[in-house]
Structure 1
Amino acid sequence: MSAMRGRKRDVGSGAERLPDLEFLALVRASLEAYAPGVTRGAELKGNSLVSPQGWVVGVTPPRHGGGHHYDLIAMPDVTIQPDVPCFFDCAVALSGDPRHAADAWTQTAGACLLELLDRRGRFAEHVEPGQARGFPGRHTITSGAIAFGLDPDENRRLQIALLEANVLQSVAGTFTSDLESPFFNGVKVFYGGRPGSMQAEIRVNGERHDAASAAMTALKLPEPATFAVARYYALLLPVPAGGEEPDYPATSLELDGEADHDARCACGGHPDPDHPGFDLALPHLIEELSDEERAQHVDVSTEAMIVARGIGNFLKVRLPVQLEDGRTVNYLAWLYVEAEVIEEVVDRVHDGTSSGHRFSGLFCNALGPWGEALLRAPVVAQGRPGSKPDAVGYFEVVESSDALLDKVLRDRWPAHYVLGDQDPFSVASSPVRED
């Protein structure tokens, strides 16, 4: 499980609680920023965000909490009738800004929803029962831990403490018998407050579980020096008797274009003929680590950002390479950047001001025919507009002081040199022989 960077936030009163659909509009925007294309065609109806792919997120009547509290229900597959499988969570706008509540839900329970439907490890982590962080008898889909409060260092300390405590495995015996759903059970882990007044809480399928919460309290997690809270979410899926894959929903995200590339190359090794592209899964420095080393160092891991203690901070960007035939090959690759760069990029994405923003970094992938010669090349990236008003555009490499990378950007290249046998046009034009 990873930790996700939280922003320093002013905790206080703000606007009144939003109407359900207005809050769901914020959830839709947050989901779209987190996974571009995922809300395409989704509509706001009644008290729900309804996707044409068959998943729904709704706001339920408040079950507990104050005026800035939002209770949400996620239904991954509404085609299952009459009892639609669902899981519950809640989010609180501690700063008074409901966007923060929408983001907190998206990065935890929302990430689990996306991963349940995508199942490629792009939005949340899959953990088997026998693994170090596994839950007995269950396949776990777990989000990263997010934290927010008055001091970034204290937020960070709380995140790390929550992750290192391995809470769910530690308290599993207190609530395993209450995991009643044959599809999936949603579990929220929360820890936070002020010095001398900390709360440890575990909610199972939307309800506070007293025994599990008491067991978590007994773990004696460290207290922060000032107000801070941390949380993460997990879906626990029954494992079939034969050890096969869990019974996943029939629905899927069906992301297309750049958002639906395979971990290493676009379209699972079969690029689109007109718009070839390659999505590079990891920065070179992270790819060289063993699984054990990654688990030890990587604190944040999303589709767009990786933070690894003692190694560096990485952002995913687009690098366009022009071909002589007029096409453009888009590589989704990684840059090494300073922590301050990541913080500003995250803020600008959330505020809708990323387009036109520029930052510097070092190129962190071996690329196509140029290989490792491009590693550590200095580059400048710039935010591009999204493909539609509500979409978040990519940051794109626009210049480099490295002679070779500058040439990669400026020149037009033969298709066969860049794509080789992965060029669909080349494959399509090859003669077919019958034996």
Structure 2
Amino acid sequence: MTPLLEWVRNRPDGDLQSGRTTEVLKIVAERLDAFGPDWTTSVDGSRLTGTGSWVVALRDNHTEHDEHLDLDFVLNVDRPAETTISDCVTGYGATARDAWQQGVGVWATLTAAAVVELMRPANEFADHYHGNDPGGFLGWHTISAGFVGFGRGEPEALARWATDNPLIPQLSSVVSGGLDRGHLNGVKILFGGVAGAEVAEVRINGREHPESGRALLALPWPRPAEPVFARTFALLVHPETDACGQS
């Protein structure tokens, strides 16, 4: 048993959740610090604070699995309703902390990278797409860091397929029906699994969008013999109004 799990087991329920939050946010802080000095962080109670007006908070777990993390990246604490980028991720590992580290790693590689690129544009951690670009979301300026693959067998197989067959443009028309903000819409796409037990999930601003999930399931992505998954996160920054992609 790790020191963390031993500490958690011996705490009352209220302290258990507090300890989980603190430990997860410490892992998040380590990953954000890797983006550079502008992203130096500190854990402040139930949230992670950094330079400027942004915070990261761990929301209540909407599942029964301790490995699942619901994370909010709030760009401006004075305007949370307009600037909160919500996402969730399930980690995998031999211990709870291993799972949290793996899950936060995926979140940082995709979601946090898109937010960092939005706030400090450098084309270093994520890419910008106009609405008419081959990999873009129709009608929107989008930031995305690509796909991450994980699972057994060849975990990069689906990620390669999604890169070679741009997935976001194929889903943009149905996803558009679920957008509920005029800017800063976060779209999580997760798919994979073996034939007959596929997973196809699309979440818009943290909420599942079943119509987009069904459209994703209907696409001809490979169904591997072993459980393999691919994940991406697209940050739809603002609509673009003309054919040249300029707003």
- State the TM-score bracket (shorter-chain normalisation): 0.7 to 0.9
1:87 maps to: 85
TM-score by length of 1: 0.49
1:11-50 equivalences in 2 (<5 Å): 19-33=20-34, 35-40=35-40, 42-50=41-49
Higher helix share: 2
1:148 maps to: 150
**Residue-pair matches, total:** 227
2:56 maps to: 57
2:124 maps to: 122
Cα RMSD (Å) of the superposition? Answer: 2.2
- In the alignment, structure 1 segments of 5+ residues that lack a partner are 1-14, 247-435
Identity %: 26
- 2:241 and 2:159 map into 1 onto residues whose CA distance is 35
TM-score by length of 2: 0.84
- Residues 195 and 227 in structure 1, CA contact (< 8 A), matched pair in contact too: no
Q: Which amino acid aligns with 2:85?
A: F
| Offset from partner CA, 1:203-251 (integer Å, 9 cap, x none) | 11111111111001110310222222210101112235477866xxxxx
- 1:39 and 1:224 map into 2 onto residues whose CA distance is 38
| Offset from partner CA, 1:185-212 (integer Å, 9 cap, x none) | 0001101234541211111111111111
| Offset from partner CA, 1:388-423 (integer Å, 9 cap, x none) | xxxxxxxxxxxxxxxxxxxxxxxxxxxxxxxxxxxx
| Offset from partner CA, 1:114-161 (integer Å, 9 cap, x none) | 11101221111100011112212110101221112223xx11212111
1:433 maps to: none
- 1:130 and 1:160 map into 2 onto residues whose CA distance is 22
| Greater RCO, 1 or 2 (C-alpha within 8 Å, sep 6+) | 2
Give the number of the structure whose alpha-carbon radius of gyration is greater. Answer: 1
Q: CA deviation at 1:181?
A: 1.3
1:256-275 equivalences in 2 (<5 Å): none
- Residues 195 and 226 in structure 1, CA contact (< 8 A), matched pair in contact too: no
| Offset from partner CA, 1:72-131 (integer Å, 9 cap, x none) | 0111222437x4511211111222412111101100111111111012211111000111
- Residues 190 and 202 in structure 1, CA contact (< 8 A), matched pair in contact too: yes
- In the alignment, structure 2 segments of 5+ residues that lack a partner are 9-16
Are 1:221 and 2:221 counterparts?
yes
1:416-435 equivalences in 2 (<5 Å): none
Secondary structure of 2:161's counterpart equals helix
- Residues 54 and 78 in structure 1, CA contact (< 8 A), matched pair in contact too: yes
Q: Which amino acid aligns with 2:193?
A: G
